[in-house]
Every structure is written in structure tokens, then in C-alpha cells.
Amino acid sequence: MTSGLYRQLAEARFRTVFRHLGEVTAYARRRGSADPDAIAAEAMTIAWRRLADVPEDDPLPWLYATARNLLLAEARRGSRRTVLREPDENAPAPEPRALDPELEQALRALGPLDREALLLVAWEDLTPSQAACALGLSPTAFRVRLLRARRRFRAKLDAVEGQARGGAQLVHVDVEGT
């Protein structure tokens, strides 16, 4: 195969990956990045350099995993406290003003791993298998994490709704120790 033909094939394949730029930018924005456009651009640069590693059938989970790693690096550099490191600083939703206040409070009360599991499935619209790939987990491990995150979220939401009703709420007993 000639290098020109190889380059044309690589460029055609990358165009299918590049179609997800907007989704990756939105993901970085929702995770509280100081510069979501830069995170998305860097994720695409990495995808171009590592095109052979990007899954052909569904590149989005791979791109989210790459963007998540870039967000963690951004947080380590101290450029800004992000949702990934400090859950109480930023709203996890794309439009915090449009989010129900009780829902937002319950989401903020969750730990970062629980919130990430829920958001990948609910807001990023990934299947549990895709979300598992994005987090580098087995599908079974992710499903367990998601189940536990949903239970904790339900408990937090019940508590928040109980407070909104004037403190009359049921006590949640965690019998599984999760």
C-alpha cells in the first residue's frame, strides 16, 4: 500500500472520529473544564496520533476516556477545581439554570465516581457497555457501579425532597453497605 493511499484511508477514518468533536466539547464543558474547546481539540489530536487504537465501530467512549484523562490532568495542574476533583464547586449539568434544584442538590451530594457513572448514561447517552469502556472498567463492574450509584442517588434525592417538604422524611437504611 502506498503512503498516499494509507493517508487517504486514515483521513477518511479520522473524519468519522472528528464528527464527535461537539460531543467531546460538551462533555468537557459539563465536567467544568476551564477550556473545554482545548480539551476537545487535544482529544482529537491524540485520536489522530493514535488512530489505530481508536475503535472503529464506536469511537465516542474512547474519546470520552481521553477527554476525562485530560480533565484530570487539567485539575492536577491546578488551573481550576473541576467537578472531577471537587464536586461542590460546579454544577454537573449543561444548563444548571434549567435543572431542578432538588435534582441538582442530590447530584452534587454524590461522590464523583457515582456522579460520573450516572452522567455518562443519562446525559452523555452512552450504553452501560460504552460507559464502561469510557471509564476503563469491565461492563459487569460498571453495571454494579451504576446500580449502586442509582441507589445512592435515589436516597439523596429522597432526603432532599424530604427537606423540601419540611423535614418529614423516611430514614434510609443502607443494608448493603454501599
User: Could you give all domains of the chain from N- to C-terminal order, each with its CATH number?
Assistant: 1-90 (1.10.1740), 98-178 (1.10.10.10)
What's the CA gap between 36 and 103, in Å, rounded? Answer: 24
47-72 average pLDDT score:
93
pLDDT at 162 (0 to 100): 80
The residue with cell 476537545 is 40
pLDDT at 45 (0 to 100): 94
Q: Per-residue pLDDT for 60 more than 90?
A: yes
Confirm if 92 and 115 have CB atoms less than 8 A apart.
yes
How would you classify residue 163: left for phi > 0, otherwise alpha for psi between -120 and 50, otherwise beta? Answer: alpha
What's the CA gap between 84 and 74, in Å, rounded? Answer: 10
- Which is more confidently placed, 75 or 62? 62
Q: Which of the four pLDDT bands, split at 50, 70 and 90, describes residue 98?
A: low
Q: Which of the four pLDDT bands, split at 50, 70 and 90, describes residue 78?
A: confident
Q: Per-residue pLDDT for 96 more than 70?
A: no
108-128 average pLDDT score:
91
23-50 average pLDDT score:
93
pLDDT at 114 (0 to 100): 92
What's the CA gap between 19 and 80, in Å, rounded? Answer: 28
Q: Which of the four pLDDT bands, split at 50, 70 and 90, describes residue 130?
A: very high
- Count of C-beta atoms within a 10 Å radius of residue 81: 15
pLDDT at 153 (0 to 100): 93
Distance, CA of 110 to chain centre: 14
H or E element, residue 116: helix 112-122
What's the CA gap between 124 and 177, in Å, rounded? Answer: 28
- Count of C-beta atoms within a 10 Å radius of residue 37: 13
What pTM did the predictor assign? 0.69
14-39 average pLDDT score:
92
pLDDT at 173 (0 to 100): 46
